[in-house]
Structures are given as structure tokens and as C-alpha cells.
A and B are shown apart, each in its own frame.
Chain A
């Protein structure tokens, strides 16, 4: 990856709303080249989409998250792909990961109450043919998500002028 592409990705990764003109200044490129590079990155699916990080709790929405570990029975030919697809099509399922170790798959489920999440897992996930066991862990608090610390970020405590 060249330096300018890395600059664009790091700048957008931190704040997707930075204008192309400002990126051009920061990366020392023309605005046209910035726009062109971003289009290529989007086309190549290196930039998948632009997303907003929302603190739903602060907004008054009481979402409940649970991490559910699944053990699955594999079908011939299809491997894990088929069960992954079954799982990720549920909008309640926010992430699906294939794991090494004791469990096979880990999913994150979001709902409005513990009851709703528990019923969803019991009715929709636990009943899938390939799934033979589930272990549900409700999330009590998230401290850091996808590299972002959700508490107040640490500020450097420095004097306004070097003494």
C-alpha cells in the first residue's frame, strides 16, 4: 500500500465525514486524486461502507447484547458456510465468527430485552438442525468496541507552553 492510500484509509477510518478537500490537504494530494482513489477503494471493496458509531444507551434505547457460543454439526459438502449463512441472515444477529477451540461459532445478538434475546436464541438458533448446543452470555457493559474506547478518551495532561 502506498503512503497516500494509507493516509486516506487512516483518516476515513477515524472520521468518515472528513471532506475530500481536507483529505487532499492532509495527504498532500489533489482533490481529484483523492476522489479517484476513494472511488477505487470503494470499488475494490476495501472501503466497505461508512458507518456511524452510536451510543444507543445514551440515546435512550435500551439494547441488550448477548454473545452466544455455538457447537455445530457439519454437513457434508457445505462445511461451515451454510450454517453461517443461516445465522447472518437474522437481523438480530449482529456478528458471526468461526472460532478455533471448544466452540465452533460465536454470534452477537441484539434485542430490546433479555427475555427477547433468550427467546430468539431458544426458538431460532437452538432449533437449527446443525446447532447442537448454545451457551448464552449477556453483555453487562462494553468498555471498548472495534478499537474505540467508549469511556472518555485519555487526554494528555500537558502545560500550554513548554516551561
Chain B
């Protein structure tokens, strides 16, 4: 356990709690309250006395809704009875997936910059994380060559996350097909974290298991936090072939038992009736995306145009400061919270993650403060 440091984001959390008048571009969660119809469905269920455990797999009605969603949207069928597991957040699903497929000493490839939980989860499971760096000049996409270079005889699985946290990069069908070829060639598994799926602003999202031959090799993770502004509900699911789901379910059964029923009922409502409100939020994120990327580039950052999620990942102008020092001084001197890119892996050094799940006024104010800060450096 001592080899795993606490999350670098956590350190900023502690710093921020001591400062007033803070504008936060540090939050990886929507700045919307969960749509009322979803909350209302949860309230109603509580009034009706729906307060019990559910099946370990999750409510069958929810699994059926998820199954229908994937058939309709991606043309991939998952059996609600044996191939869908409802979890408390993608975080749990990720942990279950890794513990299920990784034997001690197995290598798992992590595509960086990446979400902070992947590497610790691999280490907790006794696996060995192997990082692959994506590059800004490739729009932070994973190339087959980069992937190949990290594969050894011990490689068991690859974790990808597109649309990506922290870069906002997406990969289109062609890009993913090239990766799928490598997966087949080396007989690997893919853990695909697609929690930002719905937040795709350009092009359409391709679900990894919809690629030829990939359904049997993919553990697909998705959830409700980002798309439906339901972070605190901790609602997600894993989709995979029955033999993998049954093993994940075994761990889940003895550690979590089941996801909270109220949250599951909210998730059913979200899938049945949440499309319009979700699209409205996404249209607004898209506007903020243009606003923040233009703003960052105007004040001297070099910012890649993200195509998904709600993060801009600008490269910091050369000031001699590390991204950690830059973010900490920006917080102390101008009270703007951003997350240093180094938190997301070595390759994130020199970058800053700015979440644009913040009001337009806050984004504009933050840009002004950042401009002032850069002027002083």
C-alpha cells in the first residue's frame, strides 16, 4: 500500500479549503443539479417504501434498460441476465474488472495522461502498470505503434478512456479499429472506460465492444455521473461476457452487495426520460468548450481543441514553472483552481487540466485572472 501515493488532486483539495473567493476549474463533475424528474422519481420510490436490497446484479429493469440502450445506440446486445452488472460508480466497476482479470505480476497498459485511479487499482490487484504516453501532436489519440511498444509476454489488458479525462480527446471508429487489431494480435483484453460517452461534441462515439471481434474481449464501463449530472448517486455498470461478469459479480457480492436501490431507480428514470435534459446540458458544455479553448489560446496557452468530456488541457507557456508549481501559484495568487497535468501521469507534465463544467461567467472570470497571472510571470 505504501507504494501508492494519495491522489495529487486530493492535495489541491486540501489547499483550496483554506482560500476564499475561489473560482474552480478543478472539478470533474457537472455544475448542474441532477434533473428534477430523476430526483422526483427517487423521492417517489422512497415514499413507496422501496428501501430494500436489490439483486446483486442490480434491478432487472435497469439492466434491461441498459441492454436496450446498447442495442439501439451501438448495435451490441448484452444479456440483462448474465452480461450486465450495476455498480456503485465506474470506480467500483474498474476495481472489479481489474481484480477479475489481473493475476499477480500481470501487466496492464494504461494510456496516459489518464484518470488517477487506473494505476493504483492495478497495483492494489497485484498487477504491474505499464504506461503509454499519447501526444498532443496526435490529438492525444493512442496509436497502434505506441500500444505495440508497451506490450510484453506478461501483458494482460489495456485500459483506455475516450472521450478522455484529462485531455478531452476522442477516438473515432477507424482509430479504434487499428487498436482492436493489436488487441487481437496479442490476445489481450480491453477495459474501456466510456463514462464520458454522451459528452462527445464532434463526430459520434464508437463503443469499443461494437468493433468486429471486440465484444468478447472488452469490459465496457459506463455510468450516469457525467451525462445525467448524477455524480453523488454513484451509479454505473459494467458490460462484458458472462464469464467475466460472473467473476466481477462474485467480488461485488461480497464487498458491495448491491448498488443503492434509490440510485438505481434514479438511473432507470434517467434512461427512460432523461434524453432531453441531458442534450440541453451537453449543448451548454459545447458552448463553454468553444469559450474556454478560444480564451486559453488568446491569453497565450497552446490548447488542443477537445472533442469530448468537459476538460480543456492546455500546454503551459514556457515560464520555467512545473505544472504543479504553476497550478499552486495560480491558486494562491489568483484563486483559480486548475489541476496540474502531472497528476495524470508524467506525460501530463507541462499541461493544466481546466474543467469547463463551470458557468460561463466563472470561465470568463477565471480566464481574466489567468491572463493577469501570466502577465506577471
B16 to chain A, nearest CB (A): 5
Determine the distance from Cα of A26 to Cα of B295 in the docked complex, in whole angstroms: 11
Q: Using Cβ atoms and an 8 Å threshold, which residues of chain B touch A159?
A: 13, 27
Q: Is the CB of A104 closer than 8 A to any CB of chain B?
A: no
B213 to chain A, nearest CB (A): 35
Q: Is the CB of A25 closer than 8 A to any CB of chain B?
A: yes
Q: Is the CB of A140 closer than 8 A to any CB of chain B?
A: no
**Size band of the interface chain B makes with A:** 20 to 34
Chain A binder among B29-37, B167-175, B191-199, B216-224: B29-37
Determine the distance from Cα of A154 to Cα of B27 in the docked complex, in whole angstroms: 18
Q: Are B287 and A11 in contact (CB under 8 A)?
A: yes
Q: Is the CB of A124 closer than 8 A to any CB of chain B?
A: no
Determine the distance from Cα of A154 to Cα of B284 in the docked complex, in whole angstroms: 17
Q: Is the CB of A62 closer than 8 A to any CB of chain B?
A: no
Contacting A at CB under 8 A, from B171-212, are: none
* Given known A-B contacts A25-B294, A163-B10, A163-B13, A158 and B29 have beta carbons under 8 A apart: yes
Determine the distance from Cα of A25 to Cα of B364 in the docked complex, in whole angstroms: 12
Determine the distance from Cα of A156 to Cα of B24 in the docked complex, in whole angstroms: 13
Q: Are A161 and B287 in contact (CB under 8 A)?
A: no
Residue of B nearest to A27 (CB): B287
Determine the distance from Cα of A6 to Cα of B26 in the docked complex, in whole angstroms: 29
Q: Is the CB of A162 closer than 8 A to any CB of chain B?
A: yes
* Given known A-B contacts A161-B12, A161-B16, A162-B26, A156 and B291 have beta carbons under 8 A apart: no
Q: Is the CB of B337 closer than 8 A to any CB of chain A?
A: yes
Q: Are A161 and B26 in contact (CB under 8 A)?
A: yes
Residue of A nearest to B16 (CB): A160
Determine the distance from Cα of A159 to Cα of B290 in the docked complex, in whole angstroms: 25
Q: Are A25 and B290 in contact (CB under 8 A)?
A: yes
Is the contact region of chain A dominated by helix, strand, or loop, or is it mixed? loop
Q: Are A160 and B22 in contact (CB under 8 A)?
A: yes
Q: Is the CB of B283 closer than 8 A to any CB of chain A?
A: yes
Q: Using Cβ atoms and an 8 Å threshold, which residues of chain A touch B12?
A: 161
Contacting A at CB under 8 A, from B333-377, are: 337, 339, 360
Q: Are A160 and B32 in contact (CB under 8 A)?
A: no
**Size band of the interface chain A makes with B:** 10 to 19
Q: Are B283 and A10 in contact (CB under 8 A)?
A: yes
Q: Is the CB of A31 closer than 8 A to any CB of chain B?
A: no
Q: Is the CB of B330 closer than 8 A to any CB of chain A?
A: no
Q: Are A25 and B291 in contact (CB under 8 A)?
A: yes
Determine the distance from Cα of A161 to Cα of B29 in the docked complex, in whole angstroms: 9
Partner of B27, one of A10, A25, A27, A161: A161
Q: Is the CB of A92 closer than 8 A to any CB of chain B?
A: no
Q: Is the CB of B9 closer than 8 A to any CB of chain A?
A: yes
Cβ proximity bits A38-72 to B, threshold 8 Å, 1 near / 0 not: 00000000000000000000000000000000000
Q: Using Cβ atoms and an 8 Å threshold, which residues of chain A touch B10?
A: 163
Q: Is the CB of B28 closer than 8 A to any CB of chain A?
A: yes
Cβ proximity bits A14-40 to B, threshold 8 Å, 1 near / 0 not: 000000001001111000000000000
Q: Using Cβ atoms and an 8 Å threshold, which residues of chain A touch B294?
A: 25
Q: Using Cβ atoms and an 8 Å threshold, which residues of chain A touch B26?
A: 160-162
B132 to chain A, nearest CB (A): 24
Contacting A at CB under 8 A, from B286-315, are: 287-288, 290-291, 294
Q: Are A156 and B32 in contact (CB under 8 A)?
A: yes
Determine the distance from Cα of A163 to Cα of B29 in the docked complex, in whole angstroms: 11
Determine the distance from Cα of A89 to Cα of B136 in the docked complex, in whole angstroms: 63
B116 to chain A, nearest CB (A): 9
Contacting B at CB under 8 A, from A146-160, are: 154-156, 158-160
* Given known A-B contacts A6-B283, A7-B283, A28-B290, A161 and B9 have beta carbons under 8 A apart: yes
Q: Using Cβ atoms and an 8 Å threshold, which residues of chain B touch A161?
A: 9, 12-13, 16, 24, 26-27, 337, 339
Q: Are A26 and B337 in contact (CB under 8 A)?
A: no
Partner of B291, one of A26, A155, A160: A26
* Given known A-B contacts A25-B294, A161-B13, A161-B337, A156 and B22 have beta carbons under 8 A apart: no
A3 to chain B, nearest CB (A): 8
Q: Using Cβ atoms and an 8 Å threshold, which residues of chain B touch A10?
A: 283-284
* Given known A-B contacts A25-B290, A28-B290, A154-B33, A160 and B27 have beta carbons under 8 A apart: yes
Q: Are B337 and A162 in contact (CB under 8 A)?
A: no
Q: Using Cβ atoms and an 8 Å threshold, which residues of chain A touch B17?
A: 160
Determine the distance from Cα of A10 to Cα of B17 in the docked complex, in whole angstroms: 35
Q: What would 19 more interface pairs be, CB under 8 Å, given A10-B284, A158-B31?
A: A6-B283, A10-B283, A11-B287, A22-B291, A25-B290, A25-B291, A26-B287, A26-B290, A27-B287, A155-B33, A156-B31, A156-B33, A156-B229, A158-B27, A158-B231, A160-B27, A160-B337, A161-B339, A163-B10
7 contacts between A and B (CB under 8 A): A22-B291, A26-B287, A155-B33, A156-B33, A156-B229, A160-B17, A161-B9
The 7 closest A-B pairs by CB, nearest first: A26-B287, A161-B13, A160-B24, A161-B26, A162-B28, A28-B290, A160-B16
